Amino acid sequence: MTQTPTPAEARGLQSAREIEGHLKALETFTPMALGVLSVASGIYTYLGVSSLLNDTGAMSFFAAVAYSLAVSVAIFVFWSYLIRLLPAMRSASSRLGLFLSMALGSVAIIAMSSWLNAAALAGSAAVEQHLAKTVQQYQVGLEQANRVTVAAQGLGLDVARTRQSFQDLSAQEATGNLSGTAGRGAVFRVLIQKADELAGLEAQIAAQAPLVDAAFSEGNQILSRMRALTASAGDVEQRSVEFAEESVRLAGLIAQLRQLSVAPLVARAAQDLSASVVVPELDGSTDSIRSGQRSTIDAVLTLLAQRATTLKAAADEVLAMPTPDDTTYAPISTADAVLRYAGDFIPSWAGAIAIDLLPAVLVLIMMVAQSAIRSDRGTAAPEETMTLSEIRAAVTALRALEQPAPQAQAQPVAQPADDRPPTDRPVPVAAVTDPVAPEPPVPHVFSGRR
Protein backbone atom coordinates (compact mmCIF):
# COMPACT_ATOMS: atom_id res chain seq x y z
CA MET A 1 0.00 0.00 0.00
CA THR A 2 1.32 3.38 -0.97
CA GLN A 3 2.33 5.53 1.99
CA THR A 4 0.69 8.94 2.18
CA PRO A 5 3.30 11.68 1.49
CA THR A 6 4.04 14.17 4.21
CA PRO A 7 3.08 17.85 3.70
CA ALA A 8 6.73 18.72 2.99
CA GLU A 9 6.97 16.01 0.34
CA ALA A 10 3.70 17.18 -1.15
CA ARG A 11 5.01 20.74 -1.43
CA GLY A 12 8.26 19.48 -2.97
CA LEU A 13 6.38 17.45 -5.57
CA GLN A 14 4.21 20.43 -6.40
CA SER A 15 7.31 22.65 -6.78
CA ALA A 16 8.97 20.07 -9.04
CA ARG A 17 5.86 19.99 -11.22
CA GLU A 18 5.88 23.79 -11.49
CA ILE A 19 9.53 23.84 -12.56
CA GLU A 20 8.89 21.14 -15.14
CA GLY A 21 6.04 23.19 -16.55
CA HIS A 22 8.29 26.25 -16.85
CA LEU A 23 10.98 24.21 -18.59
CA LYS A 24 8.47 22.85 -21.10
CA ALA A 25 7.40 26.41 -21.91
CA LEU A 26 11.00 27.60 -22.25
CA GLU A 27 11.97 24.69 -24.48
CA THR A 28 9.60 26.01 -27.15
CA PHE A 29 11.81 28.96 -28.05
CA THR A 30 15.25 27.93 -26.73
CA PRO A 31 16.37 26.49 -30.11
CA MET A 32 15.25 29.70 -31.80
CA ALA A 33 17.30 31.77 -29.34
CA LEU A 34 20.37 29.63 -29.96
CA GLY A 35 19.86 30.04 -33.69
CA VAL A 36 19.65 33.83 -33.42
CA LEU A 37 22.85 33.99 -31.37
CA SER A 38 24.62 31.69 -33.81
CA VAL A 39 23.56 33.75 -36.82
CA ALA A 40 24.60 37.01 -35.16
CA SER A 41 28.00 35.57 -34.34
CA GLY A 42 28.33 34.31 -37.92
CA ILE A 43 27.58 37.77 -39.33
CA TYR A 44 30.27 39.45 -37.24
CA THR A 45 32.65 36.61 -38.03
CA TYR A 46 32.06 37.27 -41.73
CA LEU A 47 32.91 40.94 -41.26
CA GLY A 48 36.08 40.01 -39.38
CA VAL A 49 37.17 37.49 -42.00
CA SER A 50 36.49 39.99 -44.80
CA SER A 51 38.84 42.49 -43.15
CA LEU A 52 41.63 39.90 -43.22
CA LEU A 53 41.22 38.97 -46.88
CA ASN A 54 42.93 41.46 -49.15
CA ASP A 55 41.28 40.11 -52.28
CA THR A 56 37.75 41.34 -52.98
CA GLY A 57 36.88 38.75 -55.61
CA ALA A 58 34.16 36.12 -55.63
CA MET A 59 36.40 33.45 -54.16
CA SER A 60 37.19 35.58 -51.11
CA PHE A 61 33.49 36.32 -50.66
CA PHE A 62 32.53 32.65 -50.74
CA ALA A 63 35.44 31.79 -48.43
CA ALA A 64 34.25 34.32 -45.86
CA VAL A 65 30.66 33.10 -46.15
CA ALA A 66 31.71 29.47 -45.77
CA TYR A 67 33.79 30.22 -42.70
CA SER A 68 31.05 32.26 -41.02
CA LEU A 69 28.45 29.58 -41.85
CA ALA A 70 30.67 26.90 -40.35
CA VAL A 71 31.05 28.99 -37.20
CA SER A 72 27.28 29.48 -36.89
CA VAL A 73 26.56 25.77 -37.28
CA ALA A 74 29.32 24.82 -34.85
CA ILE A 75 28.05 27.19 -32.17
CA PHE A 76 24.43 26.04 -32.56
CA VAL A 77 25.26 22.33 -32.48
CA PHE A 78 27.75 22.64 -29.64
CA TRP A 79 25.39 24.47 -27.28
CA SER A 80 22.41 22.32 -28.31
CA TYR A 81 24.33 19.22 -27.24
CA LEU A 82 25.32 20.72 -23.92
CA ILE A 83 21.94 22.23 -23.04
CA ARG A 84 20.38 18.78 -23.49
CA LEU A 85 23.02 16.48 -22.08
CA LEU A 86 24.76 18.32 -19.24
CA PRO A 87 21.64 18.97 -17.09
CA ALA A 88 20.67 15.30 -17.44
CA MET A 89 23.93 13.99 -15.99
CA ARG A 90 23.64 12.63 -12.44
CA SER A 91 27.12 11.40 -11.55
CA ALA A 92 30.00 13.73 -10.72
CA SER A 93 32.33 12.07 -13.23
CA SER A 94 29.92 12.54 -16.14
CA ARG A 95 29.31 16.17 -15.19
CA LEU A 96 33.03 16.81 -14.90
CA GLY A 97 33.64 15.28 -18.31
CA LEU A 98 31.01 17.47 -19.95
CA PHE A 99 32.30 20.54 -18.08
CA LEU A 100 35.76 19.90 -19.51
CA SER A 101 34.20 19.47 -22.94
CA MET A 102 32.36 22.78 -22.52
CA ALA A 103 35.58 24.55 -21.48
CA LEU A 104 37.47 23.12 -24.46
CA GLY A 105 34.68 24.05 -26.83
CA SER A 106 34.49 27.57 -25.41
CA VAL A 107 38.20 28.06 -26.03
CA ALA A 108 37.76 26.81 -29.59
CA ILE A 109 34.84 29.20 -30.16
CA ILE A 110 36.89 32.15 -28.88
CA ALA A 111 39.78 31.13 -31.12
CA MET A 112 37.72 30.77 -34.28
CA SER A 113 35.02 33.38 -33.78
CA SER A 114 35.25 35.77 -30.85
CA TRP A 115 38.42 37.59 -31.87
CA LEU A 116 36.99 38.05 -35.36
CA ASN A 117 33.82 39.42 -33.80
CA ALA A 118 35.94 41.86 -31.83
CA ALA A 119 37.74 42.84 -35.05
CA ALA A 120 34.38 43.60 -36.64
CA LEU A 121 33.14 45.54 -33.60
CA ALA A 122 36.26 47.59 -32.85
CA GLY A 123 38.59 47.01 -35.81
CA SER A 124 38.45 50.56 -37.17
CA ALA A 125 38.81 52.06 -33.71
CA ALA A 126 41.79 49.80 -33.00
CA VAL A 127 43.52 50.92 -36.23
CA GLU A 128 42.87 54.55 -35.27
CA GLN A 129 44.37 53.77 -31.89
CA HIS A 130 47.45 52.43 -33.68
CA LEU A 131 47.67 55.63 -35.73
CA ALA A 132 47.36 57.75 -32.59
CA LYS A 133 50.11 55.78 -30.84
CA THR A 134 52.35 56.23 -33.88
CA VAL A 135 51.69 59.98 -33.91
CA GLN A 136 52.75 60.16 -30.27
CA GLN A 137 55.96 58.30 -31.04
CA TYR A 138 56.77 60.61 -33.94
CA GLN A 139 55.99 63.65 -31.82
CA VAL A 140 58.32 62.45 -29.07
CA GLY A 141 61.03 61.77 -31.65
CA LEU A 142 60.63 65.20 -33.27
CA GLU A 143 60.69 67.06 -29.96
CA GLN A 144 63.68 65.10 -28.72
CA ALA A 145 65.65 65.69 -31.93
CA ASN A 146 64.81 69.38 -31.77
CA ARG A 147 65.81 69.53 -28.11
CA VAL A 148 69.24 68.07 -28.86
CA THR A 149 69.73 70.35 -31.85
CA VAL A 150 68.70 73.47 -29.92
CA ALA A 151 71.04 72.50 -27.09
CA ALA A 152 73.82 72.22 -29.66
CA GLN A 153 72.91 75.66 -30.95
CA GLY A 154 73.45 76.92 -27.41
CA LEU A 155 77.12 76.03 -27.74
CA GLY A 156 77.38 79.10 -29.93
CA LEU A 157 77.32 81.24 -26.80
CA ASP A 158 80.29 79.35 -25.35
CA VAL A 159 82.16 79.75 -28.64
CA ALA A 160 81.34 83.47 -28.75
CA ARG A 161 82.54 83.96 -25.18
CA THR A 162 85.85 82.20 -25.94
CA ARG A 163 86.29 84.20 -29.16
CA GLN A 164 85.64 87.43 -27.33
CA SER A 165 88.21 86.60 -24.70
CA PHE A 166 90.90 86.09 -27.35
CA GLN A 167 89.92 89.30 -29.08
CA ASP A 168 90.22 91.19 -25.82
CA LEU A 169 93.65 89.66 -25.22
CA SER A 170 94.75 90.66 -28.71
CA ALA A 171 93.61 94.22 -28.05
CA GLN A 172 95.63 94.27 -24.85
CA GLU A 173 98.66 92.91 -26.71
CA ALA A 174 98.31 95.69 -29.32
CA THR A 175 98.57 98.32 -26.56
CA GLY A 176 101.47 96.54 -24.82
CA ASN A 177 99.51 95.55 -21.72
CA LEU A 178 100.06 91.81 -22.24
CA SER A 179 103.67 91.09 -23.18
CA GLY A 180 104.94 94.52 -22.31
CA THR A 181 105.68 95.46 -25.90
CA ALA A 182 103.07 97.36 -27.88
CA GLY A 183 102.39 96.32 -31.45
CA ARG A 184 101.11 93.45 -33.54
CA GLY A 185 103.86 90.94 -33.04
CA ALA A 186 103.95 87.20 -32.64
CA VAL A 187 101.69 87.10 -29.59
CA PHE A 188 99.11 89.28 -31.29
CA ARG A 189 99.07 87.06 -34.35
CA VAL A 190 98.52 83.89 -32.23
CA LEU A 191 95.59 85.49 -30.44
CA ILE A 192 94.04 86.79 -33.66
CA GLN A 193 94.51 83.36 -35.28
CA LYS A 194 92.44 81.58 -32.62
CA ALA A 195 89.88 84.38 -32.47
CA ASP A 196 89.30 84.05 -36.22
CA GLU A 197 88.92 80.26 -35.94
CA LEU A 198 86.30 80.66 -33.22
CA ALA A 199 84.56 83.39 -35.23
CA GLY A 200 84.24 81.02 -38.19
CA LEU A 201 82.82 78.31 -35.93
CA GLU A 202 80.37 80.80 -34.46
CA ALA A 203 79.22 81.79 -37.95
CA GLN A 204 78.58 78.14 -38.84
CA ILE A 205 76.53 77.64 -35.73
CA ALA A 206 74.50 80.77 -36.43
CA ALA A 207 73.85 79.62 -40.00
CA GLN A 208 72.25 76.41 -38.71
CA ALA A 209 69.63 78.21 -36.62
CA PRO A 210 67.17 79.05 -39.49
CA LEU A 211 67.44 75.50 -40.83
CA VAL A 212 66.63 74.04 -37.43
CA ASP A 213 63.60 76.31 -36.98
CA ALA A 214 62.29 75.52 -40.47
CA ALA A 215 62.66 71.76 -40.00
CA PHE A 216 60.92 71.81 -36.63
CA SER A 217 58.07 73.95 -37.98
CA GLU A 218 57.55 71.66 -40.97
CA GLY A 219 57.60 68.63 -38.68
CA ASN A 220 54.82 70.13 -36.57
CA GLN A 221 52.75 70.73 -39.69
CA ILE A 222 53.15 67.11 -40.73
CA LEU A 223 52.14 66.01 -37.23
CA SER A 224 48.99 68.13 -37.51
CA ARG A 225 48.04 66.44 -40.77
CA MET A 226 48.71 63.02 -39.24
CA ARG A 227 46.45 63.84 -36.28
CA ALA A 228 43.73 64.93 -38.67
CA LEU A 229 43.99 61.64 -40.55
CA THR A 230 43.71 59.76 -37.25
CA ALA A 231 40.46 61.40 -36.16
CA SER A 232 38.79 62.19 -39.49
CA ALA A 233 35.87 60.24 -40.95
CA GLY A 234 36.12 57.87 -43.88
CA ASP A 235 37.63 54.53 -44.70
CA VAL A 236 40.41 53.76 -42.24
CA GLU A 237 42.42 51.86 -44.86
CA GLN A 238 42.61 54.88 -47.18
CA ARG A 239 43.55 57.10 -44.26
CA SER A 240 46.27 54.63 -43.32
CA VAL A 241 47.82 54.98 -46.78
CA GLU A 242 47.95 58.78 -46.49
CA PHE A 243 49.22 58.45 -42.94
CA ALA A 244 52.09 56.25 -44.14
CA GLU A 245 53.11 58.87 -46.73
CA GLU A 246 53.19 61.60 -44.10
CA SER A 247 55.14 59.40 -41.71
CA VAL A 248 57.89 58.94 -44.29
CA ARG A 249 58.25 62.73 -44.67
CA LEU A 250 58.34 63.19 -40.91
CA ALA A 251 60.97 60.50 -40.44
CA GLY A 252 63.16 62.33 -42.96
CA LEU A 253 62.76 65.62 -41.09
CA ILE A 254 63.70 63.99 -37.79
CA ALA A 255 66.85 62.60 -39.40
CA GLN A 256 67.58 66.05 -40.83
CA LEU A 257 67.24 67.64 -37.39
CA ARG A 258 69.71 65.14 -35.98
CA GLN A 259 72.19 66.04 -38.71
CA LEU A 260 71.78 69.77 -38.05
CA SER A 261 73.21 69.37 -34.56
CA VAL A 262 76.54 71.27 -34.29
CA ALA A 263 77.67 69.44 -31.15
CA PRO A 264 80.05 67.11 -33.05
CA LEU A 265 81.45 70.12 -34.92
CA VAL A 266 82.11 72.03 -31.70
CA ALA A 267 83.72 68.98 -30.10
CA ARG A 268 86.14 68.60 -33.01
CA ALA A 269 86.89 72.36 -33.07
CA ALA A 270 87.62 72.34 -29.34
CA GLN A 271 90.01 69.45 -29.82
CA ASP A 272 91.82 71.30 -32.59
CA LEU A 273 91.85 74.62 -30.74
CA SER A 274 94.97 73.86 -28.75
CA ALA A 275 96.42 71.10 -30.89
CA SER A 276 96.70 73.09 -34.10
CA VAL A 277 98.51 76.28 -33.16
CA VAL A 278 100.87 77.86 -35.63
CA VAL A 279 103.42 79.76 -33.52
CA PRO A 280 104.97 82.59 -35.56
CA GLU A 281 108.62 83.50 -35.37
CA LEU A 282 109.48 85.76 -32.52
CA ASP A 283 110.07 89.23 -33.96
CA GLY A 284 111.37 91.06 -30.90
CA SER A 285 114.32 93.35 -31.51
CA THR A 286 116.14 92.33 -28.37
CA ASP A 287 116.54 89.14 -26.42
CA SER A 288 114.47 90.48 -23.53
CA ILE A 289 111.57 91.30 -25.88
CA ARG A 290 111.78 87.86 -27.49
CA SER A 291 111.90 86.25 -24.04
CA GLY A 292 108.77 88.15 -23.06
CA GLN A 293 107.01 87.10 -26.26
CA ARG A 294 107.93 83.44 -25.66
CA SER A 295 106.58 83.47 -22.10
CA THR A 296 103.41 85.23 -23.23
CA ILE A 297 102.83 82.70 -26.02
CA ASP A 298 103.25 79.86 -23.52
CA ALA A 299 100.63 81.49 -21.32
CA VAL A 300 98.32 81.86 -24.33
CA LEU A 301 98.75 78.19 -25.21
CA THR A 302 97.86 77.21 -21.65
CA LEU A 303 94.78 79.39 -21.87
CA LEU A 304 93.88 77.78 -25.19
CA ALA A 305 94.08 74.33 -23.62
CA GLN A 306 91.79 75.40 -20.79
CA ARG A 307 89.21 76.96 -23.10
CA ALA A 308 89.37 73.95 -25.41
CA THR A 309 88.69 71.64 -22.47
CA THR A 310 85.70 73.77 -21.47
CA LEU A 311 84.23 73.74 -24.98
CA LYS A 312 84.83 70.02 -25.31
CA ALA A 313 83.03 69.32 -22.03
CA ALA A 314 80.04 71.44 -23.11
CA ALA A 315 79.87 69.64 -26.47
CA ASP A 316 80.13 66.25 -24.78
CA GLU A 317 77.17 67.10 -22.56
CA VAL A 318 75.07 67.75 -25.65
CA LEU A 319 76.32 64.59 -27.33
CA ALA A 320 75.43 62.58 -24.22
CA MET A 321 71.78 63.64 -24.44
CA PRO A 322 69.50 60.74 -25.49
CA THR A 323 68.79 60.72 -29.19
CA PRO A 324 65.32 59.83 -30.51
CA ASP A 325 64.70 56.25 -31.47
CA ASP A 326 64.01 55.50 -35.09
CA THR A 327 60.24 55.41 -35.54
CA THR A 328 58.77 53.61 -38.51
CA TYR A 329 55.06 53.33 -39.17
CA ALA A 330 53.96 49.77 -39.97
CA PRO A 331 50.46 49.34 -41.47
CA ILE A 332 48.27 46.98 -39.47
CA SER A 333 45.03 45.13 -40.16
CA THR A 334 41.92 45.50 -38.02
CA ALA A 335 42.27 42.01 -36.53
CA ASP A 336 45.91 42.56 -35.60
CA ALA A 337 45.09 45.97 -34.15
CA VAL A 338 42.36 44.49 -31.95
CA LEU A 339 44.79 41.88 -30.62
CA ARG A 340 47.62 44.40 -30.05
CA TYR A 341 45.44 46.95 -28.27
CA ALA A 342 43.07 44.50 -26.59
CA GLY A 343 43.41 46.30 -23.25
CA ASP A 344 41.96 49.47 -24.74
CA PHE A 345 38.86 47.72 -26.07
CA ILE A 346 37.70 45.55 -23.19
CA PRO A 347 33.97 46.34 -23.74
CA SER A 348 34.20 45.27 -27.38
CA TRP A 349 36.03 42.07 -26.42
CA ALA A 350 33.43 41.39 -23.72
CA GLY A 351 30.58 41.77 -26.21
CA ALA A 352 32.32 39.63 -28.82
CA ILE A 353 32.91 36.81 -26.33
CA ALA A 354 29.49 37.12 -24.68
CA ILE A 355 27.60 36.63 -27.94
CA ASP A 356 29.38 33.28 -28.34
CA LEU A 357 29.42 32.06 -24.73
CA LEU A 358 26.06 33.36 -23.52
CA PRO A 359 24.43 29.92 -24.05
CA ALA A 360 26.73 28.63 -21.29
CA VAL A 361 24.55 30.60 -18.87
CA LEU A 362 21.49 28.81 -20.22
CA VAL A 363 23.23 25.47 -19.67
CA LEU A 364 23.94 26.37 -16.05
CA ILE A 365 20.33 27.51 -15.56
CA MET A 366 19.08 24.17 -16.89
CA MET A 367 21.44 22.33 -14.55
CA VAL A 368 20.14 24.26 -11.54
CA ALA A 369 16.53 23.68 -12.57
CA GLN A 370 17.00 19.94 -13.08
CA SER A 371 18.84 19.67 -9.78
CA ALA A 372 15.96 21.46 -8.04
CA ILE A 373 13.46 19.06 -9.60
CA ARG A 374 15.42 16.03 -8.39
CA SER A 375 15.79 17.56 -4.93
CA ASP A 376 12.08 18.38 -4.59
CA ARG A 377 11.01 14.93 -5.68
CA GLY A 378 13.40 13.32 -3.21
CA THR A 379 13.23 9.53 -3.09
CA ALA A 380 9.58 9.24 -4.15
CA ALA A 381 8.79 6.38 -6.48
CA PRO A 382 7.59 7.29 -9.98
CA GLU A 383 4.04 6.06 -9.22
CA GLU A 384 3.87 8.47 -6.28
CA THR A 385 4.35 11.48 -8.51
CA MET A 386 1.58 10.70 -11.01
CA THR A 387 -1.14 13.28 -11.54
CA LEU A 388 -4.84 12.49 -11.55
CA SER A 389 -5.01 12.57 -15.33
CA GLU A 390 -2.06 10.17 -15.55
CA ILE A 391 -3.71 7.82 -13.06
CA ARG A 392 -6.95 7.82 -15.07
CA ALA A 393 -5.05 7.04 -18.25
CA ALA A 394 -3.18 4.23 -16.50
CA VAL A 395 -6.40 2.71 -15.10
CA THR A 396 -8.04 2.86 -18.52
CA ALA A 397 -5.06 1.14 -20.10
CA LEU A 398 -5.05 -1.51 -17.36
CA ARG A 399 -8.74 -2.30 -17.90
CA ALA A 400 -8.17 -2.58 -21.63
CA LEU A 401 -5.39 -5.10 -21.02
CA GLU A 402 -7.36 -7.19 -18.49
CA GLN A 403 -10.64 -7.32 -20.50
CA PRO A 404 -10.96 -10.87 -22.09
CA ALA A 405 -11.08 -11.14 -25.82
CA PRO A 406 -14.60 -12.17 -27.13
CA GLN A 407 -14.76 -15.87 -27.97
CA ALA A 408 -16.10 -17.03 -31.28
CA GLN A 409 -19.71 -18.40 -31.30
CA ALA A 410 -19.96 -22.16 -31.78
CA GLN A 411 -21.17 -22.86 -35.28
CA PRO A 412 -23.46 -25.88 -35.88
CA VAL A 413 -21.83 -28.66 -37.78
CA ALA A 414 -23.67 -29.79 -40.85
CA GLN A 415 -24.78 -33.42 -40.76
CA PRO A 416 -23.00 -35.34 -43.44
CA ALA A 417 -25.20 -37.29 -45.79
CA ASP A 418 -24.42 -40.78 -44.56
CA ASP A 419 -26.07 -43.51 -42.53
CA ARG A 420 -24.14 -42.88 -39.29
CA PRO A 421 -26.29 -42.97 -36.23
CA PRO A 422 -27.06 -39.74 -34.44
CA THR A 423 -24.78 -40.73 -31.68
CA ASP A 424 -21.81 -40.05 -33.93
CA ARG A 425 -22.67 -36.35 -34.23
CA PRO A 426 -20.44 -33.96 -32.31
CA VAL A 427 -21.98 -32.50 -29.24
CA PRO A 428 -21.56 -28.69 -29.09
CA VAL A 429 -19.69 -27.66 -26.06
CA ALA A 430 -20.87 -24.53 -24.35
CA ALA A 431 -18.33 -21.81 -24.19
CA VAL A 432 -17.08 -21.29 -20.71
CA THR A 433 -16.04 -17.77 -19.87
CA ASP A 434 -13.90 -16.97 -16.96
CA PRO A 435 -15.33 -14.51 -14.58
CA VAL A 436 -13.93 -11.06 -14.89
CA ALA A 437 -11.33 -10.35 -12.22
CA PRO A 438 -12.22 -7.55 -9.89
CA GLU A 439 -10.61 -4.20 -10.66
CA PRO A 440 -7.78 -3.12 -8.36
CA PRO A 441 -8.57 -0.32 -6.01
CA VAL A 442 -7.68 3.17 -7.19
CA PRO A 443 -4.48 4.42 -5.46
CA HIS A 444 -4.70 7.19 -2.93
CA VAL A 445 -4.80 10.58 -4.66
CA PHE A 446 -4.20 13.99 -3.12
CA SER A 447 -4.07 17.34 -4.85
CA GLY A 448 -3.83 15.72 -8.26
CA ARG A 449 -0.93 13.44 -7.19
CA ARG A 450 -0.61 10.16 -5.43
Q: Is residue 147 part of a domain?
A: yes
118 and 137 fall within a common domain: no
150 and 224 fall within a common domain: yes
103 and 179 fall within a common domain: no
302 and 180 fall within a common domain: yes
Q: Is residue 450 part of a domain?
A: no
Cα angle at 158 between 156 and 162, to 5 degrees? 115
269 and 374 fall within a common domain: no
Q: State which residues form the domain around 331.
A: 126-338
Q: Is residue 70 part of a domain?
A: yes
Q: Where are the beta strands (DSSP E) in 257-412?
A: none
Please, which pLDDT band fits residue 446 given cuts at 50, 70 and 90? very low
Q: Is residue 435 part of a domain?
A: no
Residues of the chain with pLDDT > 70: what percent?
74
34 and 71 fall within a common domain: yes
Q: What pLDDT shows up at residue 55?
A: 66
List, as one string, the DSSP characters of 328-358: ------HHHHHHHTGGG-HHHHHHHHHHHHT
CA distance 305 to 165: 14
Q: Is residue 158 part of a domain?
A: yes
From 307, 338, 369, the end of a domain falls on 338
69 and 169 fall within a common domain: no
Q: Is residue 372 part of a domain?
A: yes
The contacts found for 40-44 with CB under 8 angstroms, 24 or more apart, are 40/355, 41/71, 41/72, 41/75, 41/113, 41/117, 41/355, 41/356, 42/68, 42/69, 42/71, 42/72, 42/75, 43/68, 44/116, 44/117, 44/120, 44/121, 44/352, 44/355
Q: What pLDDT shows up at residue 440?
A: 47
| C-alpha 12, offset from chain centre | 49
- What are 221-276's pLDDT values in tens digits? 999 999 998 888 878 888 888 899 999 999 989 988 888 888 888 888 888 776 66
- What are 90-141's pLDDT values in tens digits? 888 888 999 999 999 999 999 888 888 888 888 888 888 899 899 998 999 8
Report the domain count for the chain: 2
**By three-state DSSP, how is residue 240 classified?**
helix
181 and 307 fall within a common domain: yes
Q: What pLDDT shows up at residue 119?
A: 84
- What are 392-429's pLDDT values in tens digits? 777 788 788 877 655 544 455 444 444 444 444 444 44
Closest Cα partner for 448 from 388, 378, 364, 369?
388
113 contact partners, CB below 8 Å, separation of at least 6: 41, 45, 71, 75, 356
359 and 373 fall within a common domain: yes
Average pLDDT over the chain, rounded to whole?
A: 78
Q: Find the mean pLDDT for residues 166-186.
A: 68
CA distance 205 to 315: 13
297 and 286 fall within a common domain: yes
Q: Is residue 399 part of a domain?
A: no
106 and 190 fall within a common domain: no
- What are 27-77's pLDDT values in tens digits? 888 889 999 999 999 998 898 888 777 666 788 888 889 999 999 999 999
- What are 281-325's pLDDT values in tens digits? 555 556 666 666 667 766 777 777 788 888 888 888 888 888 777
Please, which pLDDT band fits residue 20 given cuts at 50, 70 and 90? confident
- Asked if the model's pLDDT at residue 388 lies above 80, the reply is no
Q: Is residue 179 part of a domain?
A: yes
Q: Where are the beta strands (DSSP E) in 73-170?
A: none
Q: What pLDDT shows up at residue 435?
A: 44
Please, which pLDDT band fits residue 8 given cuts at 50, 70 and 90? low
154 and 234 fall within a common domain: yes
- What are 27-37's pLDDT values in tens digits? 888 889 999 99
